[in-house]
Amino acid sequence: MPKVDICVVAYEPEREGFLELLRSLIEEPISGPDWSLRILDNTARAETMEQLRQWCEAVLPAGRFAAVDIVAAARNLGFGSGVNTIAAQGTSPYLLLLNPDVVVEPGAIAGMLACAEQDAPQVAAWEFRQIPYEHPKAYDPASLDSPWFSAAAVLLRRDAFESVKGFEPKLFMYGEDVDLSWRLRAAGWRLRYIPRHAVVHRSYAYPEQVKRAQVLGGTLSNLCLRARFGTWRDVGLGVGMLLAEAALPQQAFPGRRVGLVANLFRFAAKLPYFRGTRVRASERFSPVFSGWGFELRRDGAFHAFKSRRASQGDAVPKVSILIRTIGRHAWLREALASVMHQTYPGVEAVVVEDGPATSEAMIRDEFAPRMNIKYLATGQRVGRARCGNIALSEAEGEWLNFLDDDDVLFADHVEVLVDAVRSGGARGAYALAWETHTRVIDQQQALYEETMHLTRHHQPFDRITLWHHNYLPIQAVLFHRSLYEKHGGFAEDMDQLEDWNLWTRYTLEDDFVLVGKTTSKYRVPADLKASGERQGALDKAYAAALRKQEAMQMVTNPRSISAMVETYARGQSLLMITRNDVRRFFTLNGTLGRLARYRSALTRRLRNGGAR
**pLDDT, tens digit (0-9, with 9 covering 90-100), for 418-445:** 999 999 899 999 999 999 999 999 999 9
Bridging pattern class, strands 123-131 and 153-157: antiparallel
Statement to judge: residues 515 and 585 lie in one domain: no
Buried b (16+ CB within 10 A) or exposed e, 237-247: bbbebbeebbe
Alpha-carbon separation of residue 515 from 257, 419, 555 (angstroms): 36, 10, 28
Domains identified in the chain, total number: 4
Statement to judge: residues 94 and 121 lie in one domain: yes
Name the residue range of residue 590's domain: 563-610
- 3-class DSSP state for residue 471? coil
pLDDT of residue 528: 82
Statement to judge: residues 395 and 426 lie in one domain: yes
Distance CA 188, CA 79 (A): 25
Which one-letter DSSP state was computed for residue 61?
A: P
pTM: 0.89
- 3-class DSSP state for residue 604? helix
Query: For the segment 538-552, what is each residue's pLDDT rounded down to a tens digit?
Result: 878 888 888 888 777
Statement to judge: residues 38 and 168 lie in one domain: yes
Residues linked to residue 137 through DSSP beta bridges, in sequence order = 297
Distance CA 41, CA 268 (A): 31
Statement to judge: residues 123 and 30 lie in one domain: yes
Statement to judge: residues 324 and 245 lie in one domain: no
CB contact at 8 A, 409 and 339: yes
Identify which of 42, 5, 308 has the alpha carbon closest to the alpha carbon of residue 155: 5
pLDDT of residue 537: 81
Statement to judge: residues 222 and 195 lie in one domain: no
Residues 6+ apart with CB under 8 A from 386: 354, 378, 490, 492
pLDDT of residue 31: 60
Distance CA 90, CA 70 (A): 13
pLDDT of residue 593: 56
Q: How far is CA 593 from the centre of its chain?
A: 36
Residue 144's pLDDT band, with cuts at 50, 70 and 90, is: very high
Q: Show which of 172, 201, 230 is a domain's final residue.
A: 201
Q: Does the structure show a pLDDT above 50 at 611?
A: no
> What is the average pLDDT across 210-233?
93
Q: Does the structure show a pLDDT above 60 at 586?
A: no
Statement to judge: residues 551 and 412 lie in one domain: yes
pLDDT of residue 612: 34
Identify which of 90, 88, 3, 16 has the alpha carbon closest to the alpha carbon of residue 59: 16
- Say what percent of the chain tops pLDDT 90: 74
Q: Does the structure show a pLDDT above 50 at 594?
A: yes
Statement to judge: residues 105 and 69 lie in one domain: yes
The amino acid that residue 314 corresponds to is D
Contacts within 8 Å (CB) and 24+ apart, 291-295: 291/241, 291/606, 291/610, 292/218, 292/219, 292/222, 292/241, 294/147, 294/148, 294/178, 294/222, 294/225, 295/137, 295/138, 295/147, 295/148
Residues linked to residue 200 through DSSP beta bridges, in sequence order = 103, 131
> What is the average pLDDT across 391-399?
98
Residue 141's pLDDT band, with cuts at 50, 70 and 90, is: very high
Average pLDDT, the chain: 90
Which one-letter DSSP state was computed for residue 105?
A: P
Residue 503 maps to a domain: yes
Q: Show which of 533, 555, 577 is a domain's final residue.
A: 555
Q: Which residue has the higher pLDDT, 611 or 270?
A: 270
How long is the chain? 612
Distance CA 126, CA 119 (A): 10
Residue 600's pLDDT band, with cuts at 50, 70 and 90, is: low
Rg (CA), the chain: 26
Distance CA 391, CA 119 (A): 33
Statement to judge: residues 13 and 159 lie in one domain: yes
Q: Which residue has the higher pLDDT, 562 or 166?
A: 166
Residue 500 maps to a domain: yes
Which one-letter DSSP state was computed for residue 96?
A: E
Identify which of 184, 278, 273, 269 has the alpha carbon closest to the alpha carbon of residue 234: 278
First to last CA, the chain: 43
Residue 206 maps to a domain: no
Residue 305 maps to a domain: no
pLDDT of residue 507: 95
Top-ranked range on mean pLDDT: pick from 279-293, 318-332, 533-547, 580-594: 318-332
- Angle between helix axes 256-276 and 212-229 (nearest 10 degrees) is 30
Top-ranked range on mean pLDDT: pick from 251-260, 481-490, 519-528: 481-490
Residue 307 maps to a domain: no
Distance CA 340, CA 275 (A): 42
Distance CA 107, CA 199 (A): 10
Helices (H) then strands (E): counts for the chain: 21, 19
Return left, alpha or beta for 334; rule: phi > 0 is left, psi -120 to 50 is alpha, else beta.
alpha
Query: For the segment 235-274, what is each residue's pLDDT rounded down to a tens digit?
Result: 999 999 999 988 888 777 888 899 999 999 999 999 999 9
Residue 17 maps to a domain: yes
Asked which of 94-108, 201-215, 552-566 is least confident by mean pLDDT, the reply is 552-566
Handedness of CA 420, 426, 427, 430 (dihedral sign): negative
* CATH number assigned to the domain comprising residue 459: 3.90.550.10
Residue 308 maps to a domain: no
pLDDT of residue 610: 44
Residue 541 maps to a domain: yes
Q: Show which of 555, 573, 598 is a domain's final residue.
A: 555
Statement to judge: residues 506 and 363 lie in one domain: yes
Distance CA 205, CA 252 (A): 15
> What is the average pLDDT across 369-387?
97
Statement to judge: residues 397 and 511 lie in one domain: yes
Q: Does the structure show a pLDDT above 90 at 96?
A: yes
Identify which of 179, 107, 113 has the alpha carbon closest to the alpha carbon of residue 150: 179
